[in-house]
Structures are given as structure tokens and as C-alpha cells.
Amino acid sequence: MTSHAAEPVVSELVELLSLERLEDNLFRGQSRDIGTKYVFGGQVLGQALSAAQATMDAPRSAHSLHAYFLRAGDIAAPIVYQIDRTRDGGSFSVRRISAIQHGQVIFFMAASFQQEEGGGEHQLSMPEVPKPEDIDPAPAVPEHVMATLPIKIQRWLSRKGPFEFRHVYPRDELNPPKRPPYQQVWFRLSERVGDAPELHRALLAYASDFHLLGTATFPHGISYYQPNVQMASLDHALWFHRPFRADDWLLYSIDSPSAQDARGLARGQIFDRQGRLVASTAQEGLIRVVGNAEAAKLVPAKA
């Protein structure tokens, strides 16, 4: 539950992730138009995880999810989530989730849950980066530039979203330079919310879709905001390692090892402020440049 003083965008997101239960294994979620052409992939990830978590009868926590985006989601229509209780074993449970709109599956996901237990532990170190307080927020897009952009892009760039982002190495997405395919971004929910770990995992699933695939465009000097660039998530994987809060600063360290055949692969590690690795991600997505023959060729990355 959010406090009464919470930002409307935060309480709206929490409400978005709180699905209506239609049957034991059937849920309905609404959509929010945040300036994207279709339903934001992170919304479907977060809602699907929320639905799966609601079917857990034992105290088990999600430790991984693997999802495929099959069709573009209609922002104007609700999404129905159908859960298959695939397995409830001695230590692990598995759920399969189908997201349905207009009678068609637009997304499906498998999520695995585990009861808490001990074991060996290690992790890679967090990159050495400035603290979020030492990084200035991104400046607003000048009005004369904003006026030249499509209405959807204007809405995306001008909205105050539920998450705050601080880029360690900012990039001008409207005039993107060619850069090596990696970035670090601090992010957090802009207001405090309740303590339920299930809520924070759903919030992280939502936020994990930001900036991930975009990293694969860096070597090519293109971005999602350019009208001749088509981008869409194809799949998404997320692993939860350690407890965290989505309303505390988290560092998203992302790299893209490959792009080819109009697809890009990106990987991410998410650390808390204490340097603990709390989650990992991977995503492949469509990156297509349309137009004349020259524009349709992605420039190869340089070593």
C-alpha cells in the first residue's frame, strides 16, 4: 500500500500492478498510455509476475522469469492473465502465464519460485561509479525541439514517470552519437511504498525494461526516438538474487555483446547502494532501420 502523500504516478503504478482476480487462476489488468505506441513491455512483465505471485500457496519467492513478447499490446484494452500451476514441488514451484487480448495470446512467461534456504554465496563486484546524488537529473528537452517531435514522443519525454533515472554517462537520444555498447543508470521509485517483497519484485520487473535494449543501439548512432528506427522487445529474462527495495537507489549496469540480423542482445546487472547484486537481466529485441538503402544498414561496432 502507498502512503496518502505518494505521487499520483507511483500510486497509479502500484494500482496497475494490483490485478483484479476473476477466478483462482485468472486475472485482469488495465493498461496505461505512457507515450509508447503499444503497451509498455515492462507493464506486462510486472503484471504477469503479480498474477503468478498471487497463486502461490506456500511462502516461496520468485527467483527467475523467462518471457516472450508475441504481439503488440493494445493500450485501450484490458489484459487477461491466465495462470497454469505447472508444478509445486518440495522446494520449487513453477507457473506459466499467458497474457491475452482480443482472444489472442500477446505474451507468455514462465516463472520459478523457491522457498528460502541457505547455500554458498558469491557475486561480481559493482562497477565504480558516482553516487546518484552526484549526478544531475537529465535536463528537460527545449520547447522548440519538443515541438518538432511526434506527439507520442512529446508525451513520453514530458511525462513525470514513477521512476527517477540518473545516467552515469548521459547520451543525447535525439541526436545520438556512436558509443561503445554499455551504460550505467541509477534508478529508484520516486516515492516510498509498502514493504511487501512481492510488490518490489513486480516493480523491478516493470523497471527492468527501461534502457536495456536501447544499449544495443549505442554503436550505431541510432535511437528509439528516430522515426526510421523500429524497436520492440522479443524476449526478457530476469533473475532475483537478493532482497532489495525498488524505492531505494539501484544501479543498472548494462552491456550489449552482439547485434545482428536486425536483433540486439543486452544484459544487465542490478546492484543496491551497498554493492550487493540483487538481480540480473537479459533481453533480445528487434532493431530495424527502415527507409533508403543506406539508412537500412546498421554500422558495425568498432573494437
Q: How far apart are CA 206 and CA 91, in angstroms?
A: 26
Catalytic residue, from 233, 253, 256, 269: name it.
Answer: 233
Q: How far apart are CA 242 and CA 278, in angstroms?
A: 5
Alpha-carbon distances of 95 from 76, 78, 84, 173, 181, rounded to whole Å:
27, 21, 6, 38, 34
Contact between 234 and 69 (Cβ < 8 Å): yes
Catalytic residue, from 43, 256, 280, 283: name it.
Answer: 283
Catalytic residue, from 50, 209, 247, 269: name it.
Answer: 209
Annotated active-site residue 283? The verdict is: yes
Annotated active-site residue 47? The verdict is: no
Q: How far apart are CA 291 and CA 297, in angstroms?
A: 10
Closest CA to 108 of 55, 138, 66: 66
CB-CB neighbours of 208 under 10 Å: 25
Q: How far apart are CA 39 and CA 60, in angstroms?
A: 29
Q: Which residues are catalytic?
A: 209, 233, 283
